[in-house]
């Protein structure tokens, strides 16, 4: 029997190649988590990382060029002499908004925020991971929450020296303990894939029947579990259906994962309000002046 | 197409799959550039290069999801091996056949990959394949029609019905 198998494999090199690849795959799958992480880091960091950064930068540059061209056309139609000003405003609007959020973020009394740029969204049909351009060298650690001004994005699951991978709420295994801001009803937020719907939706599980929840209620993280801090905005309740034991609660998230460009990593918390630095006060004044100028 | 050119194409596909594919999203579905390149390799170069390329491309894709290291590699190796085998039984020069093989290959890849990924949520697995797998497969096949059409226009022999170009 072994000799027949050997002859078969020798006679069919395609099959032998496939079986070798399959065997190697199973060996990799069976590796302990630490070893997998090591192999992943080596492949990602050495073989793939630099090229992905270049490609991401090129794609972003192409997007900025397209946007620039469109803005020039609009400005020429409206007012030729203000062309340069309008173009300048569009180019800087996003950066100034980021700066404003960084300094005057609503949670500034509690959270230390590290701004980061989204460089890739690896995964399959849904966004399973979000890669950002900040890592251990900038103070990012596994488990840190990632947010935008709109609300919670997810948490950091893998950290490299200069970049990190974030598990967004759209990931099938993602779950977050949440609470309604008005009535303080708790539950666990999870994604739902609906066949008929064009988008992933989210539901709050384990909500006891006849709880005080109505459409329009805002949902935030509860802080239970100790991974995500309490009070991060998550979304709004869109529909509620009472059942015999639990309620079916659907939630519309504040964050649109497909349009993420910049995020903030919550690197720590403070016990009290933080005084703005002189530099931040100057930048805030500058932003205010620019906004007033544009208003005129 | 020479082996070196195909290796370069495969590497570029891995990079673009992580960076450009999200920009190409339509109705939540992305084209699977890796499957497209593996199926193309199976048509142009044959079974062994496609299987090995699928394994190596999958390995690089797995690097970002270390907990599933080897899963993409296995799924893409299966795609390379099966698609190369099936060309011998079909009219390989017909672009509709090429797209049908591409659609089937994408579904096979997703069926293998997400069966392990959603092993604890089999209800979600079925919904996911119905919602994203099919749409992603059709998207990949449509993109494949462009690639195979371009290859035909450039008179790359294997795509037009011959063997190794």
- Asked whether the predicted pLDDT for residue A108 surpasses 50, the reply is no
**Helix A83-104 vs helix A49-78: angle between axes, to the nearest 10 degrees?**
130
Mean pLDDT score of chain B, rounded to an integer?
A: 83
Residue B140 lies in a domain: yes
pLDDT at B164: 41
How distant, in Å, are the alpha carbons of A60, A70, A223, A262 from that of A92? Answer: 15, 16, 36, 14
Searching chain B, which residue's CA lies closest to the CA of residue A122? B18
- Asked whether the predicted pLDDT for residue A164 surpasses 90, the reply is yes
Q: Where are the alpha helices (DSSP H) in A12-46?
A: 13-30, 33-42
Of A88 and A204, which is predicted with more confidence? A204
pLDDT at A79: 53
3-class state of residue A233 by DSSP: strand
Residue B165 lies in a domain: no
- Asked whether the predicted pLDDT for residue A54 surpasses 50, the reply is yes
Residues listed for chain B: 165
C-alpha A268/C-alpha A254 separation (Å) is: 23
- Asked whether the predicted pLDDT for residue A212 surpasses 60, the reply is yes
A 68-97 residues inside an 8 A Cβ radius of B: none
Residue B105 lies in a domain: yes
Percent of chain A with pLDDT over 70: 71
Nearest to B15 among A51, A123, A197 (CB): A51
Sign of CA dihedral A230, A232, A234, A240: positive
Residues of B in Cβ contact (< 8 Å) with A47: 60, 63
- Asked whether the predicted pLDDT for residue A112 surpasses 90, the reply is no
pLDDT at A296: 47
- Asked whether the predicted pLDDT for residue A71 surpasses 90, the reply is no
A 10-49 residues inside an 8 A Cβ radius of B: 13-15, 17-18, 21-22, 24-29, 31, 33, 36-37, 39-44, 47-48
| A201: contact with B, CB 8 A cutoff | no
Q: What is the mean pLDDT of residues A274-293?
A: 63
CB atoms within 10 A of CB B42: 29
C-alpha A163/C-alpha A119 separation (Å) is: 9
Q: Do B65 and A128 touch (CB under 8 A)?
A: yes
Residues of B in Cβ contact (< 8 Å) with A129: 64-65
pLDDT at A217: 92
C-alpha A168/C-alpha A130 separation (Å) is: 7
Q: What is the mean pLDDT of residues A44-51?
A: 74
Mean pLDDT score of chain A, rounded to an integer?
A: 78
Question: Are the C-beta atoms of B64 and B21 separated by less than 8 Å?
Answer: no
- Minimal CA–CA distance to A258: which of A176, A198, A192, A175? A198
Q: What is the mean pLDDT of residues B23-35?
A: 82
Residues of A in Cβ contact (< 8 Å) with B22: 120-121, 127, 258
Q: A206 — alpha (psi -120 to 50), left (phi > 0) or beta?
A: left
Percent of chain B with pLDDT over 90: 19
Q: Do A194 and B127 touch (CB under 8 A)?
A: yes
- Asked whether the predicted pLDDT for residue B165 surpasses 50, the reply is no
pLDDT tens across B63-91, in order? 877 788 888 899 999 999 998 888 878 77
pLDDT at B158: 57
Q: Which two tokens stand for residue B120?
A: 């604890």
Tell how strand A111-120 and strand A186-192 pair up. unpaired
Model confidence at A81, pLDDT cuts 50, 70, 90, reads low
Task: Name residues whose C-beta falls within 8 Å of residue A29's C-beta, 6 or more positions apart in sequence.
Answer: B68, B69, B70, B71, B74
What is the C-alpha R_g of chain A? Answer: 24
- Asked whether the predicted pLDDT for residue A211 surpasses 70, the reply is yes
Q: Do B63 and A194 touch (CB under 8 A)?
A: no
How distant, in Å, are the alpha carbons of A125, A154, A184, B125 from that of B120? Answer: 18, 21, 30, 9
Q: Do B113 and A124 touch (CB under 8 A)?
A: yes
Residue B104 lies in a domain: yes
Distance to chain A for B73, nearest Cα, Å? 6
pLDDT at B78: 93
pLDDT tens across A170-196, in order? 887 888 999 998 888 999 998 886 655
- Asked whether the predicted pLDDT for residue B163 surpasses 50, the reply is no
Residues of A in Cβ contact (< 8 Å) with B62: 28, 40, 43
Model confidence at A236, pLDDT cuts 50, 70, 90, reads very high
pLDDT tens across A16-39, in order? 888 999 999 899 888 888 888 888
Model confidence at A106, pLDDT cuts 50, 70, 90, reads very low
Task: Name residues whose C-beta falls within 8 Å of residue A1's C-beta, 6 or more positions apart in sequence.
Answer: none
Domain range for B19 is 3-160
N- to C-terminal Cα distance for chain A?
A: 88
Partnered with residue A131 across adjacent β-strands are A120, A165
Q: Do A26 and B132 touch (CB under 8 A)?
A: no
Nearest to A43 among B63, B110, B124 (CB): B63
Least confident of A138-147, A193-202, B29-38, B119-128: A193-202
Determine whether B4 is exposed, middle or buried from the number of CB atoms within 10 Å of its CB (0-12, 13-18, 19+): exposed
Partnered with residue A155 across adjacent β-strands are A145, A167
Strands (E) located in A148-198: 152-159, 164-168, 176-180, 186-192
Residue B44 belongs to domain with CATH number: 1.10.1760
Number of domains present in the structure of chain B: 1
Q: Do A28 and B70 touch (CB under 8 A)?
A: yes
- Asked whether the predicted pLDDT for residue A198 surpasses 60, the reply is no
Q: Do A172 and B16 touch (CB under 8 A)?
A: no
pLDDT tens across B95-147, in order? 888 889 999 999 999 898 888 888 878 888 888 888 788 888 899 899 888 88
Residues of A in Cβ contact (< 8 Å) with B85: 14
Residues of A in Cβ contact (< 8 Å) with B55: 21, 24-25
pLDDT at A291: 53
Determine whether A70 is exposed, middle or buried from the number of CB atoms within 10 Å of its CB (0-12, 13-18, 19+): exposed
Of A86 and A213, which is predicted with more confidence? A213
Q: Which two tokens stand for residue A78?
A: 């409206």
Residue B33 lies in a domain: yes
> Whole-structure pTM over 0.90, yes or no?
no
pLDDT at A107: 46
The domains located in chain A, with CATH, are 105-168+264-295 (2.40.10.340), 176-258 (2.40.10.350)
- Asked whether the predicted pLDDT for residue A103 surpasses 60, the reply is no
- Asked whether the predicted pLDDT for residue A237 surpasses 90, the reply is yes
């Amino acid at each position: 029997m072994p000799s027949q198998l050997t002859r078969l494999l020798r006679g069919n090199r395609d099959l032998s190649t496939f079986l070798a690849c399959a065997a190697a795959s199973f060996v990799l799958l069976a590796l302990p988590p630490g070893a997998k992480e090591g192999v992943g880091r080596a492949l990602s960091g050495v073989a793939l990382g630099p090229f992905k950064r270049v490609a991401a930068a090129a794609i972003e540059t192409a997007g900025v060029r397209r946007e620039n061209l469109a803005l020039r056309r609009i400005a020429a139609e409206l007012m030729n002499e203000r062309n340069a000003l309008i173009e300048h405003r569009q180019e800087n609007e996003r950066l100034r908004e980021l700066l404003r959020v960084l300094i005057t973020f609503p949670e500034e009394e509690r959270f230390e925020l590290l701004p980061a740029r989204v460089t890739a969204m690896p995964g399959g049909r849904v966004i399973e991971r979000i890669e950002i351009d900040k890592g251990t060298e900038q103070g990012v650690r596994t488990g840190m929450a990632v947010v935008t001004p709109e609300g919670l994005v997810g948490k950091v699951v893998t950290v490299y020296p200069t970049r990190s991978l974030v598990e967004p709420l759209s990931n099938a295994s993602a779950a977050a303990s949440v609470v309604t801001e008005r009535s303080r009803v708790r539950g666990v937020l999870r994604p739902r894939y609906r066949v008929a719907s064009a988008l992933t939706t989210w539901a709050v599980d384990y909500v006891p029947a006849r709880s005080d929840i109505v459409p329009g209620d805002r949902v935030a993280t509860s802080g239970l579990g100790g991974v995500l801090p309490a009070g991060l905005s998550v979304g709004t309740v869109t529909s509620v259906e009472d059942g015999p034991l639990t309620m079916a609660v659907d939630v519309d998230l504040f964050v649109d994962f497909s349009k993420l460009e910049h995020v903030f990593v919550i690197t720590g918390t403070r016990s009290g309000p933080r005084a703005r630095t002189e530099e931040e006060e100057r930048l805030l004044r500058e932003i205010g002046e620019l906004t007033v100028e544009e208003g005129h | 197409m020479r082996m070196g050119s195909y290796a370069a194409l495969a590497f570029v596909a891995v990079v673009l799959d992580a960076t450009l594919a999200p920009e190409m999203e339509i109705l939540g579905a992305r084209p699977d550039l890796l499957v497209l390149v593996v199926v193309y390799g199976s048509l142009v170069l044959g079974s062994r290069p496609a299987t090995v390329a699928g394994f190596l491309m999958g390995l690089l894709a797995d690097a970002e999801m270390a907990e599933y290291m080897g899963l993409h590699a296995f799924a893409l190796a299966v795609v390379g091996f099966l698609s190369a085998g099936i060309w011998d039984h079909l009219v390989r020069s017909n672009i509709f056949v090429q797209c049908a093989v591409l659609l089937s290959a994408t579904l096979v890849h997703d069926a293998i990959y997400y069966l392990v990924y959603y092993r604890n949520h089999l209800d979600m697995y079925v919904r996911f394949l119905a919602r994203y797998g099919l749409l992603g497969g059709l998207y990949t096949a449509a993109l494949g029609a462009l690639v195979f059409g371009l290859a035909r226009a450039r008179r790359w022999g294997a795509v037009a019905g011959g063997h190794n170009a």
